Amino acid sequence: MMKDLTIKAVAKVSQEPVFSALAIAALKARASRMAANQIIRTGEFELIVADDENGEGLAVQMILPREEIEAIALSRAREIDEAADVWNEHERMEWLAGFWAELGRYLLKWQDVRVRRGPGENVTLDKAVSR
């Protein structure tokens, strides 16, 4: 049941505006042939064009507080299954650990978005512009 809830919540979270902003920013950066260290504004989001982790191309990156995505995830979980409302701290933490693993796999497969922990209590999202 938890795994099923996680997969459904990940699918819903992946439709949030933050992830479409990454796709739009990658297209804008590619179309305008932007160089590293430039800022792209897409809706309410600010992204930076950066060298990708291998230094072979460019990516658009966004750094968000991990808590922000977790709040969205828990909200979507409650929409799907009201039992998520009464989870204790341990159940919540365990579910979120599974959520992050599944979100990372899902976004990489379907949206070519990489999810990394850090810096600090944040999460870094990046999408390739060019390789």
pLDDT on residue 57: 87
What is the percentage of the chain residues whose pLDDT exceeds 90? 83
To the nearest 10°, report the CA torsion of 89, 94, 95, 97: 120
Q: Give the pLDDT confidence of 102-129 residue by residue, as tens digits.
A: 999 999 999 999 999 999 999 999 999 9
Which band of pLDDT confidence, cut at 50, 70 and 90, is reported for residue 54? Answer: confident
pLDDT on residue 128: 92
Question: Contact 25/31 with Cβ under 8 angstroms?
Answer: no
Q: Give the pLDDT confidence of 18-33 residue by residue, as tens digits.
A: 999 999 999 999 999 8
Return the CA Rg of the chain: 16
Q: What is the mean pLDDT of the chain?
A: 92
Edge-to-edge strand ranges of the sheet holding 122-130: 39-42, 45-51, 58-65, 122-130, 113-117
Which band of pLDDT confidence, cut at 50, 70 and 90, is reported for residue 52? Answer: confident
Mean pLDDT for 60-68 is 95
pTM of the model: 0.88
Does 8 score more than 90 pLDDT?
yes
User: How many helices (H) and strands (E) in the chain?
Assistant: 4, 5
- Report the distance separating Cα 46 and Cα 32, nearest Å: 16
**Class of 2-130 in CATH:** alpha beta
Task: Give the residue, 129 or 1, on which the prediction is more confident.
Answer: 129
